[in-house]
Amino acid sequence: MTLPTYNFAYLDEQTKRMIRRAILKGIAIPGYQVPFASREMPMPYGWGTGGVQVTAAILGPDDVLKVIDQGADDTTNAVSIRAFFAKTANVATTTKTADATIIQTRHRIPEERLQAHQTLVFQVPIPEPLRFLEPRETETRVMHGLEEYGLVHVKLYEDIAQHGHIATTYAYPVKVEDRYVMDPSPIPKFDNPKLGRSPALQLFGAGREKRIYALPPFTEVASLDFEDHPFTVQRFSRPCALCNATGVYMDEVVTDDRGGRMFVCSDTDHCETRQADGHRGPGLPQLGPHAASDRESAR
Amino acid sequence: MSLAFVDGGFAEPVFGSQHAFRALMDAFARPGSIADLSGLAVPPVPMSPAAGAFLLALADQDTPVFFETHMPDAQAWVGFHTGATVTRDAPSARFAHLSDAGDAAAWNRFARGTAEYPDRSASLLLPVAGLRGGQSLILKGPGIETTREIAPQGLPRGFADVMAANRAGFPLGFDLVLVAGGEALALPRTTRIEEV
Amino acid sequence: MYVAVKGGEAAIEKAHRLLADRRRGDRSVPALSLEQVAGQLSLAVDRVMAEGSLYDPDLAAMAVRQSRGDLIEAIFLIRAYRTTLPRFGATRPVETAAMRIERRVSATYKDIPGGQLLGPTFDYTHRLIDPDMAGDHPVAPGALREMAGDAAYPRVTDILNDEGLIEPDVASDVEPGDLTRDPTGFPAGRDLRLQALARGDEGFLLSLGYSTQRGYGRTHPFVGEVRIGLVDLEIDLPELGFAVNIGAIRVTECQMVSQFKGGGENGPRFTRGYGLVFGQSERKAMAMSLVDRALRADEFDENRVAPAQDEEFVLSHCDNVEATGFVEHLKLPHYVDFQAELDLLRMLRREHAAKTTAETDRQEAAE
C-alpha cells in the first residue's frame, strides 16, 4: 500500500477549478446560490467543509489566514481548520484580523471593519433561507426564480403576532441588491449590518448542501423587516468585562452556580487588541450575595 | 499547424492557476478594475496572454470553449493545456473567445442561464485594443463603492445597447471580460454602464 | 481569571492521544491484524467498502480498525480518501449473469436453472449465542457443491423477460451520471438514484424498504433473485482494441419483481426494483431494490404519497456521512447564536411578566 500524498491546499486542481468557476458565478449573481460538486473533505460535513473548500480554492502561498469560530481563534474547530491549512498549504496564519488576507469564519463577522484586500469566507450549514418554510429544493429554486418571497415575510410576521417581536435572532434573512433573499449563515443578527457595503469580498460555502454564494464589495444588503417593526440588532447594556468595549457582540460567561455572569467580547482578537492598547474592563463580577445584583444589571 | 500549442502554459500550474484566479476573482468582485495577468501564459497569437491565463485557470474538460474567430494555433493550445473541447455550438459554450471586430448583437446566442439556474451561463472574453485611453464609461453596481470610470479602446458596434439589455435581464445574462495584452477587466452582468 | 477556552490546540492533541490509547486497548492483548479484520469481520469490511464506495478490503479493514469498529466513521475515512484518488478509467459494465455464484436464492420459483444455492447465510441459523465463540475452536472446512464448469445461472428476471412478463432491462450506452463529480439537481435520473442508494446508509434504506412493505408506497415485491458472488472487471484498452480482465470483485445483486403495470402497447407486466452492493450484503441489496422500485413512482403513474417514493427526501437523507456530520455538528460551539436566543427569550419573558402583573393589578382593582 502506498501512502497518500496531497496537492497544495489538499484539493486537486480540477476540483479547485470547478469551485473557482462557481465562485465567479456567485460574485456575478450576488446572493444567488450556485450549485457545486462539493467534495468529501477529511472533516465532517457540518464542520466547515464548504468554507474549507472555498478557502482551499482561493488560497495562495502569500496569503495570511485567520480562522474563527464563534468570533474566537482558539475554539477547537477553528484551531483544527487552521492547522489543516497550515499543514496542507504551509500558509502563514494569524489571529490578528488586520493582518489576515483571508478570514474563514463560523457564526461571526469580526468587529473590526474589513478592508478591500481581505476576503471573508463563511461556513454555511443550510444556505437556503426558504428551507424551513419549504423543504423542497425543487420548490425553493422556483421561488427564487420568480422572486416569490411572500412566505418569508409571512413567517416573520407570524412571530410578531405571537411574540410581539420578530423571533429570528440569528441566520436572519437578507435581501441582496433588491433581488435575492439570502441566508447570511448563522451569524447573530447583530452582524447583519456589516454584510452590506463592506469593502471586503464575502464568500459563502455550504459543503453538505453543495452551494456557494457571494457578496461582492459594496453590495446593498437589507435585513428583511416591516415598516412598523424595523430591523434592530442586539444591544448589550454593559461593556466588556475585559476590555471595556461597547457596541460589540458579547459572550455571556457563567461564573458560578449562583447566578454570576460576566459579559466579554465574542471577538477575541478585538478584545485582546484593545487590552494591549491599555483598555481595561471592570473584570470578574464579585461572587456571593452580589451575584444577584449582577444578574439584574445584565438585563 | 505548428507545434506552437505545446509551449506557453503556466510554468507552475498549481500556483499559476491560483495567481490568475485570484486576479480574476478580484476583477469580478470589483468590476472595471484592471487585473494584471501578465507573465503567466504565452498563448499563440492572436490570443492575448490575459485570455490565455483566464482559460488555463478556468477551462477544462467540463467547459466547452467557443471561438468567434478561427485561431487554429490558439485553439489547439487551449485544448492541449486544459483538456477543454472547442465547440462550434455557441449556446453550449461555458467560455467564448470573441472576435475583436465583431458585432455585440451576436452575443445573444450565448447561454444566459435560466430563472432557476442563472449560473448556467457563459463568460465571454472580448479582446480590445487597450483598457485605457478610449472613450470614458461610468460603471455602477455591486463591487463599486460609488462609480468607477473605465476607458477601453475598440469596443464593438452595439456594445452599450447589448450591455444595457444584459443588465436589464438580471439575474440572467452573460459575464464579459475585456482582455488586452496581459490585462483584464471584468464586467459582470450586475454592472450598469453609462456613457459620459 | 477567565480565559476564553484557551489551549484548544493542546486539548485536541491530548484528545487524539487518548483516542489512540483507547483504540489499542489492553497492551497485553495482541493487536488486531488486518488479516483478522478482513477475514473474520468480513461483513463489516464489506459494508465499509459498499457505503465508502471504494472496493479495497485491506484499506477498509484498516479503516474499521482505526475507527474502533465504528462503521460509519470507517466509511467516512474511506470516502475522504476516495475523493482524492485520480480516475484512470472506467470498467465495462459488470455482467452479473456471468457471476461466479456463491449464493443464489429465488422466492418466485421452486426450482430454477442452475438451482438454488444457500451459500454462507445466517438464514436458518438459530440465533443462539455459540459458546465456541468464546474460544478458538477448530472449524471444519466448508463443503462445496461440485460446480460444472459450464453451468449456467440465468437471471430469474431474464426468464420472465423471455416470456414478456416483466419490463425489459434496456441496455444503454448513455454515460451514467456521477453524484460525486457533478452537483445533484432534482429530478435525478435512475442512474444517480441507484448510485446514491448503493452508497446510502444500510439502516436508513432498510427502514424505508420496510415502510413500503407496510403500505407506505407499497410495491408488491417478490424476490426474483438474490445472488452473491464474484464478477469480473474488464477495462477497454483502445491501444489493444479489446477488453482486459483486471480482476474480480464480490457483489450482491437483488432483482425484485414488483407490482405489474399495465396496458399501453405492451400489455400488463411486472416491474423491477434493483439493488447492487459491493461485498456480501443481502439486507442492503434487498432494501435498495425496494426503495429503487418505490422511487420509480412517476414512471408508472403512481401517486407519490410515501417517504420512500420521494426522491428528494430519500436522496437528501440517505448518506450517512452527510447525516452524521450534520447531526454531530450540533456539539460544536453555538454559544453566539444561543446568546442571541437568550437575549430575545429574556426580553419576551420580561414583557410577559409585565403584562401578567398588569392584568392581575387590573383584576384586583376591579374586584
Q: How confident is the model at residue A91 (pLDDT cuts 50, 70, 90)?
A: very high
Q: How confident is the model at residue A298 (pLDDT cuts 50, 70, 90)?
A: very low
Please tell me the predicted confidence (pLDDT) of residue B2. Answer: 62
Q: How confident is the model at residue A223 (pLDDT cuts 50, 70, 90)?
A: very high
Please tell me the predicted confidence (pLDDT) of residue C148. Answer: 66
Q: Is the pLDDT of residue A197 over 60?
A: yes
A216 chain-B contacts, CB cut-off 8 A = 28-30, 142-143, 190
Q: How confident is the model at residue A285 (pLDDT cuts 50, 70, 90)?
A: low
Determine the average pLDDT of the residues in A92-107. Answer: 97
Please give the full DSSP string across chain A, using - where no structure is assigned.
-PPP--BTTBS-HHHHHHHHHHHHHHHHSTT--EE--PPPPSS-TTSSHHHHHHHHHH--TT-EEEEEETTBSSSHHHHHHHHHHHHHT--EE-S-GGG-SEEEEES---SSPP-TT-EEEEE-S---TTTTT---HHHHHHHHHTT--HHHHHHHHHHHHHHSS----BS--EEETTTEEE---S-BGGGHHHHTT-SSEEEEEETTTTEEEEE-TT--EEE--BTTB-------SS--TTT---SS-EEEEE-SSSS-EEEEES-HHHHHHHHHTT-----SPP-GGGHHHHHHHH-
C201 chain-A contacts, CB cut-off 8 A = none
A208 in reach of chain C (CB within 8 A)? yes
Binary contact (B117, A27; C-beta < 8 A): no
Residue B105 per-residue DSSP state: G
Please tell me the predicted confidence (pLDDT) of residue C5. Answer: 43
Q: What is the pLDDT of residues B124-167, one digit of tens each?
A: 999 999 999 999 999 999 999 999 999 999 999 899 999 999 99
Nearest-CA residue of chain B relative to A23? B25
Q: How confident is the model at residue A297 (pLDDT cuts 50, 70, 90)?
A: very low
- Taking the C-alpha atoms of residue B136 and residue B153, their distance in angstroms, rounded to an integer, is 9
Determine the average pLDDT of the residues in A9-13. Answer: 92
The whole-chain average pLDDT of chain C stands at 92
Q: Between the CA of residue C339 and those of A25, A48, A186, A268, C343, what are the distances in Å?
A: 35, 21, 12, 16, 6
Please tell me the predicted confidence (pLDDT) of residue C150. Answer: 67
Please tell me the predicted confidence (pLDDT) of residue A259. Answer: 85
E strand or H helix at B185, and its extent? strand B183-187
A142 chain-B contacts, CB cut-off 8 A = 115-116
Number of Cα atoms under 13 Å in the Cβ half of residue A129: 31
* The residue to which cell 491560483 is assigned: B18
Q: Which of A83, A165, A253 sits opposite C2 (nearest CB)?
A: A253
Determine the average pLDDT of the residues in A280-299. Answer: 53
C contact chains, 3+ CB pairs < 8 A: A
- Taking the C-alpha atoms of residue B157 and residue B3, their distance in angstroms, rounded to an integer, is 35
Q: What is the pTM of this model?
A: 0.92
Which of A 85-114 lie inside 8 A of C, CB atoms? Answer: 106-108
Q: What is the pLDDT of residues B86-113, one digit of tens each?
A: 999 999 999 999 999 889 999 999 999 9
* pLDDT > 70: percent of chain B: 98
Nearest-CA residue of chain A relative to C58? A1
Q: Which residues of C142-155 are buried (b: 16+ CB within 10 A; e: fewer)?
A: eeeeeeeeeeebeb
Q: Does the active-site annotation cover A150?
A: no
Residue C231 neighbours by CB under 8 Å, 6+ apart: C94, C95, C96, C98, C99, C100, C248, C249, C251
- Contact (Cβ atoms closer than 8 angstroms) between residue A93 and residue A63: no
Residue B5 per-residue DSSP state: T
Nearest-CA residue of chain B relative to A196? B142
- Taking the C-alpha atoms of residue A78 and residue C31, their distance in angstroms, rounded to an integer, is 34
Please tell me the predicted confidence (pLDDT) of residue A143. Answer: 97
Please tell me the predicted confidence (pLDDT) of residue A267. Answer: 97
Q: Between the CA of residue C124 and those of A173, C44, C284, what are the distances in Å?
A: 58, 21, 19
Tell me the one-letter amino acid at C3: V
Tell me what ipTM this predicted complex has.
Answer: 0.97
Number of Cα atoms under 13 Å in the Cβ half of residue C235: 10
Three-class secondary structure assignment of chain C: CCCCCCCHHHHHHHHHHHHHHHHHCCCCCCCCCHHHHHHHCHHHHHHHHHHHCCCCHHHHHHHHHHCCCCHHHHHHHHHHHHCCCCCCCCCCCCCHHHCEEEEEECCCCCCCCCCCECCCCCCCCCCCCCHHHHCCCCCCCCCCCCCCCCCCCCCHHHHHHHCCCECCCCCCCCCCCCCCCCCCCCCCCHHHHHHHHHHCCHHHHHHHHHHHHCCCCCCCCEEEEEEEEEEEEEEEECCCCEEEEEEEEEEEEEEEEEEEECCCCCCCEEEEEEEEEECCCHHHHHHHHHHHHHHCHHHHCCCCCCHHHCHHHHHHHCCHHHHHHHHHHHHCCCHHHHHHHHHHHHHHHHHHHHHHHHHHHHHHHHC
Nearest-CA residue of chain B relative to A141? B116
Please tell me the predicted confidence (pLDDT) of residue C1. Answer: 30
Determine the average pLDDT of the residues in C15-34. Answer: 96
A contact chains, 3+ CB pairs < 8 A: B, C
CA angle A108, A109, A110 (to 5 degrees): 115
- Contact (Cβ atoms closer than 8 angstroms) between residue C289 and residue C259: no
- Contact (Cβ atoms closer than 8 angstroms) between residue C67 and residue C20: no
B190, B192, B193: which is closest to A32 by C-alpha? B190
Residue B121 per-residue DSSP state: B
Sign of the alpha-carbon torsion through B112, B114, B115, B119: negative
Binary contact (A44, C325; C-beta < 8 A): yes
- Residue B43: phi and psi, rounded to 5, are -75, 160
Q: Which three cell numbers stand for residue B24?
A: 480574476
Q: How confident is the model at residue B179 (pLDDT cuts 50, 70, 90)?
A: very high
- Taking the C-alpha atoms of residue C358 and residue C367, their distance in angstroms, rounded to an integer, is 14
E strand or H helix at B124, and its extent? strand B123-127
Q: Is the pLDDT of residue A287 over 90?
A: no
Q: What is the pLDDT of residues B38-74, one digit of tens each?
A: 999 999 999 999 999 999 999 999 999 999 999 999 9
A47 in reach of chain C (CB within 8 A)? yes
Q: Does the active-site annotation cover A243?
A: yes
- Taking the C-alpha atoms of residue B148 and residue B141, their distance in angstroms, rounded to an integer, is 9
Please tell me the predicted confidence (pLDDT) of residue A68. Answer: 97
Please tell me the predicted confidence (pLDDT) of residue A286. Answer: 45
Q: Which residues of A2-11 are buried (b: 16+ CB within 10 A; e: fewer)?
A: eeeeeebbbb
Q: What is the pLDDT of residues C116-169, one digit of tens each?
A: 999 999 999 999 999 999 999 999 999 887 776 667 888 999 999 999 999 998
Which of C 39-58 lie inside 8 A of A, CB atoms? Answer: 58
- Contact (Cβ atoms closer than 8 angstroms) between residue C254 and residue C221: no
A31, A205, A207, A260: the active-site residue: A31
Interface contacts (A, C; CB < 8 Å): 153
Please tell me the predicted confidence (pLDDT) of residue A295. Answer: 39
C181 in reach of chain A (CB within 8 A)? yes
Q: Is the pLDDT of residue C186 over 70?
A: yes
Q: How confident is the model at residue A294 (pLDDT cuts 50, 70, 90)?
A: very low
Q: Is the pLDDT of residue A299 over 60?
A: no
Q: Is the pLDDT of residue A291 over 70?
A: no
- Taking the C-alpha atoms of residue B126 and residue B54, their distance in angstroms, rounded to an integer, is 12
Chain A nearest-CA distance from B102, in A, is: 24
Q: How confident is the model at residue B18 (pLDDT cuts 50, 70, 90)?
A: very high
Residue B103 neighbours by CB under 8 Å, 6+ apart: B156, B157, B158
3-class DSSP state of B29: helix
Q: Are strands A102-106 and A92-93 parallel, antiparallel or unpaired?
A: unpaired
C2 in reach of chain A (CB within 8 A)? yes
C295, C261, C298, C259: which is closest to C275 by C-alpha? C295
Please tell me the predicted confidence (pLDDT) of residue A6. Answer: 78
B171 chain-A contacts, CB cut-off 8 A = 29, 32, 179-180
- Contact (Cβ atoms closer than 8 angstroms) between residue B135 and residue B186: no
- Taking the C-alpha atoms of residue A178 and residue A201, their distance in angstroms, rounded to an integer, is 18
A299 chain-C contacts, CB cut-off 8 A = 346, 350
Q: Which of C8, C82, C332 sits opposite A47 (nearest CB)?
A: C332
Nearest-CA residue of chain A relative to B55? A17
C79 in reach of chain A (CB within 8 A)? yes
Q: Does the active-site annotation cover A265?
A: yes
Binary contact (C333, A45; C-beta < 8 A): no
Q: Is the pLDDT of residue C61 over 70?
A: yes
- Taking the C-alpha atoms of residue A88 and residue B126, their distance in angstroms, rounded to an integer, is 37
Determine the average pLDDT of the residues in C287-310. Answer: 96
Q: Does the active-site annotation cover A50?
A: no
A250 in reach of chain C (CB within 8 A)? yes
CA angle C71, C75, C80 (to 5 degrees): 150
* The residue to which cell 456613457 is assigned: B195
Q: Which of B29, B60, B117 sits opposite A201 (nearest CB)?
A: B29
Binary contact (A1, C348; C-beta < 8 A): no
Best interface-test mutation with C: which of A7, A34, A40 has the largest number of C CBs within 10 A?
A: A40
Binary contact (A201, B25; C-beta < 8 A): yes
A48, A207, A243, A260: the active-site residue: A243
Tell me the one-letter amino acid at A113: R
- Contact (Cβ atoms closer than 8 angstroms) between residue C156 and residue C110: no
B57 in reach of chain A (CB within 8 A)? yes
- Taking the C-alpha atoms of residue C57 and residue A10, their distance in angstroms, rounded to an integer, is 25
B128, B122, B85: which is closest to B106 by C-alpha? B122
Q: Which three cell numbers stand for residue B38?
A: 501578465
Sign of the alpha-carbon torsion through C90, C96, C100, C104: positive
